[in-house]
Amino acid sequence: MSFTIAIDGPAASGKGTIARAIARRFGFHHLDTGLLYRAVGARGGDPVAAARALTGADLTRDDLRSNEAGQAASRVAAIPEVRDALTDFQRRFAAQEPGAVLDGRDIGTVICPDADLKLYVIASDEVRAQRRAAEIGADPAATLAALRERDARDSARSAAPLRPAADAVILDTTEMSVTDAVTRAIAEVRARLRAPATRR
């Protein structure tokens, strides 16, 4: 039986770094679901058609980590038909053996509500802006404004709003090093793996 880990949270909270580290440690598959929406937004044109035609090659574009791609992703992610077109892909990915780690904004609430472990990763707005600005070489003030705009839109949308699942473990990385955050997350995974009664 596949072991599924859902990691949600706002941009630059550290969820992607944590997800990749967990996948490497346990030999699980990893999917950054935000790339799906970024790729749809970057394709341009009709977003529903773009979502239905999405291929693996679309996920390798060099411009998917930009602020512009993030804003485009947030806009197309608010379209229910786009989300529907990408849901089946994500659920098939999550069912892979021996396990899968998916990070995004609605994994624990919509895509994988029965995940074996749900983490909701947060950090202060200022710290997230510093991280993202350093990552993409952008102005921190402009990045902070963009993150706040995106957070507001993602949290207010009617389709799968950004929020923690009721049974998610909240992980605040504001004052954590990458090593500390990964260590905490790995401990949560190990605790679930040692508790077979909680498995689906």
Q: Where is the binding site for ATP, in residues?
A: 9-17
Cross-strand partners of 118 = 6
For 32, residues 6+ apart whose C-beta sits below 8 A from its C-beta are: 16, 19, 103, 104
For 35, residues 6+ apart whose C-beta sits below 8 A from its C-beta are: 59, 64
Q: Phi first, then psi: give them for residue 6, nearest 5 degrees.
A: -105, 125
Contact criterion met (CB below 8 Å) for 40 and 76? yes
Q: What is the token pair recorded at 84?
A: 């529907």
Binding residues: 9-17
Contact criterion met (CB below 8 Å) for 140 and 132? no
Instruction: Kindly report the number of other CB atoms within 10 A of residue 174's CB atom.
Output: 13
CA distance 176 to 192: 22
